[in-house]
Chain A
Amino acid sequence: MEKQKRFNKNIYEGFFFMFIGISMIIYSITSYSNSFNKDWSQSPYAFPLLIATLMCFLSLSLLLQGIKQSKYTETKKEVDYTAKPNNKGVIIIVAMSAIYYAALSLVSMPMYTLTILSLNISISTFEVATIIFLFAMLLYLGLRNKLELVLVPIVTTISLSIAFRTLLYVLLP
């Protein structure tokens, strides 16, 4: 172990929340001064101001903690390589989810209804987008069994569609 000066992450977080707190104070005060109601006890901006002030105090506390900790922080030499964080994976999952959302909101498909054994199975944007999304996610998360890669998205989507749309009367995207 070695002792060295280091900029603690609490300081960054403290600055970030201080920025939010001050922005909220400015927002509350300017909105209050622009509104016709000039009584703080009735104003809808009194509570935001109270919370913003609390946030500023808390961020100040974070800053102080960060400064105190960064004076002499023991940096660990040993790194646990078995649990390497997968930041790239998180970005890919978020990107896939964003594409899935875009498909659900932008693509409009006509609804086809299949009747199998008196069960109505609707096929529309949600079903198609979900099957593709599940397939892509499973592939990315390392599933290599071809049968599972095909069956899991189809069975899951159709089960969800029957359960929500047909049985529970819940609207799907």
Chain B
Amino acid sequence: MLDILSIIDIRFVLLVFVGSIAGLFVGAIPGLSVSMATALLVSITYTWNTTDALATIMGVYVVGVFSGAISAILINIPGAPSSVVTTLDGYPLAQKGESYKALYYATICSFVGSVFGLVALWLLAKPVSNIALQFTPMDYFLLAFFGLATVGSVTSKNYTKGLMSAALGLTVSMIGLDPIMGTPRMIFGLSDLQSGIAAVPALVGLFGFSEVLSVVHDNHLSQVVLQMTKMKVSFKETLKHWKLSLYTCTIGTLIGALPGAGGPVAAFISYNEAKRIIKNPEVPFGEGAVEGIVASESSNNACIGGALIPMLTLAVPGDAVTAILLSVFYVHGLKPGPMFIKESPEMFSAILAGGFIACIALLILGLLVAPKISKVISVPKNILLPIVVVLCVVGSFACNNRLFDVILMFIFGLIGFLMRQHDYPAAPMVLAIVLGGMMDSNFRRAVSLASSTDNMLASMFGKPITIVLTAVTIFIILSNIPFVKNLFARKAAKNSTL
């Protein structure tokens, strides 16, 4: 506790608040995403000291995830993917003239969810790190592979396309000098490719420029904003839902800790759980049930702490934003992993301190500012999109100060757009770009170590952790193969008829 408090000073608090305000607007404006803002921030905060950069980014992350609910409630367009489920009850409630109530619940539950997730991170990071210390190179490879296999299954309706997106990301990550021997790979004579493809321009392109192209392609340039009238919501009424909130917070933290799953999946599962548990809500689900907002917002914000657990202890990001956060660490010369908390305790404290202050900022901004920003989120997209393109150019250039990164950003934007059009999710590709180097070096270390032993297979897969990771990865892959899925579905149908 003292470690966390020692990090906090006025400058730190101010930077978290600046990040939080940026997160509030970025998350609330459809077309701007938290991932995009974080990716842009990586390049801007490149020259800052690490604590300042983390303070700002935690502010954007925590409040940005929440503020997606504002546009979900007021214009029925989720500002962030994790707020998709909030539209189901938030918008109908707003249509009844109770948009303030919907936003109030979203704020309180997001606050509870964020605090819950961060406390889980605080308590669980060290035990997970201790387990991770026993990991071999093969375990790291399998863990990253498991992450990609999972993200492929939860981000796309078609599992093959999810995995293909990850394979493309791994291919991109292999461009440049190889991490062990420094041999140039797939550079095709281009000297600019020797240093590899930087994660930032790829991320900015995949999330920023591709979003602009998608909005133009789908003609989604107009939106209607519902008016907000202030109303009183009693604290007692809010407390009625504490059990559901804590339950969905637990779901959110656990799902957040799974590599790749993230807020949208957590919110969806929590919403279904809420529907299952609460048989007779005051207002039916889908027509403005407060319980729907409670479940969705508690769980998606609890994902933040959950997603940071594998990112900090295993260097395996839980979602797209933590994948970008991982690149912030690398940019600042930090190495997340089992030794991270021991080697850089001040950075771990900075993340927690930034997260907790951002929770307070969330509460203040959510209750006082959010109800008044309906005018800002109604900024016409035909004004917003050109500015986003310029921000993408600035963000991708600022990373290495070279124009080649700008053209890479445009290329990745185009790739991201084509992927969206053909139902290939971008998240597995992002995770693969970030994890590719680590997978490559660990795979080769594992093979190299095993090749010097008598029994190569036993050396590679003989340890208990490796066996568990291999089994889990195989299970994830097999359970997503259509033939196996159909087999289980048929069995389940047979059992239910008996």
Q: A: which residues have CB within 8 A of B?
A: 9, 13, 17, 20, 24, 27, 31, 35, 37, 39-42, 44-48, 50-51, 54-55, 58-59, 61-62, 65, 83-87, 89-90, 93-94, 97-98, 100-101, 104-105, 130, 133-134, 137-138, 141-143, 148, 152, 156-157, 160, 164, 168-173
Contact = CB atoms under 8 A, between A and B. Distances in A.
B386 A133 contact: yes
Interface of B: 43-44, 46-47, 158, 160-161, 163-164, 167, 170-171, 174, 178, 180-181, 183, 185-186, 209, 212-213, 216-219, 221, 380-383, 385-387, 389-391, 393-394, 397-398, 401, 403, 406-407, 410, 414, 417, 422, 439-440, 443-444, 447-448, 450-451, 482
Contacts of B213: 90, 93-94
Nearest to B451: A41
B19 to A, nearest CB: 14
B406 A51 contact: no
A17 B398 CA distance: 33
A93 B163 contact: no
Contacts of A148: 383
Contact of B183 (A44, A65, A172): A44
Given A58-B164, A171-B401, A51 B171 contact: yes
A interface majority secondary structure = helix
B386 A172 contact: no
A58 B163 contact: yes
B389 A47 contact: no
Contacts of A31: 185
A141 B382 contact: yes
A58 B385 contact: no
A101 B398 CA distance: 15
Contact of A65 (B160, B387, B391, B393): B160
Contact of A9 (B398, B414, B417, B422): B422
18 contacts: A13-B422, A24-B171, A27-B186, A42-B448, A44-B183, A45-B185, A46-B443, A51-B171, A54-B163, A58-B163, A58-B164, A59-B164, A94-B414, A104-B403, A105-B403, A133-B390, A142-B382, A157-B390
B385 A160 contact: no
Given A51-B167, A89-B216, A143 B160 contact: no
- Best-buried of A9, A93, A169 by chain B (most CB within 10 Å): A93
A160 B395 CA distance: 11
Contacts of B163: 54, 58
Given A55-B164, A130-B390, A134-B386, A141 B417 contact: no
Given A157-B390, A171-B397, 16 more contacts: A41-B450, A44-B183, A51-B167, A51-B174, A62-B164, A65-B158, A93-B389, A94-B414, A98-B410, A100-B393, A101-B407, A105-B406, A138-B382, A143-B380, A170-B398, A171-B401
Contacts of B171: 20, 24, 48, 51, 55
A47 B174 contact: yes
Contacts of B482: 65
A46 B443 CA distance: 9
Contacts of B406: 101, 104-105, 173
B44 A87 contact: no
A152 B398 contact: no
Given A164-B44, A173-B403, A44 B181 contact: yes
Nearest to A138: B386
A101 B393 CA distance: 9
Given A9-B422, A170-B43, A87 B447 contact: no
B239 to A, nearest CB: 43
Nearest to B43: A170
A61 B161 CA distance: 10
- Best-buried of B380, B386, B410, B440 by chain A (most CB within 10 Å): B386
Contact of B389 (A39, A137, A152): A137
Contacts of A86: 216-219
By Cβ-Cβ distance, the 7 closest A-B pairs, closest first, are A141-B382, A137-B386, A44-B178, A41-B451, A44-B183, A89-B216, A41-B447
Contacts of A142: 221, 382
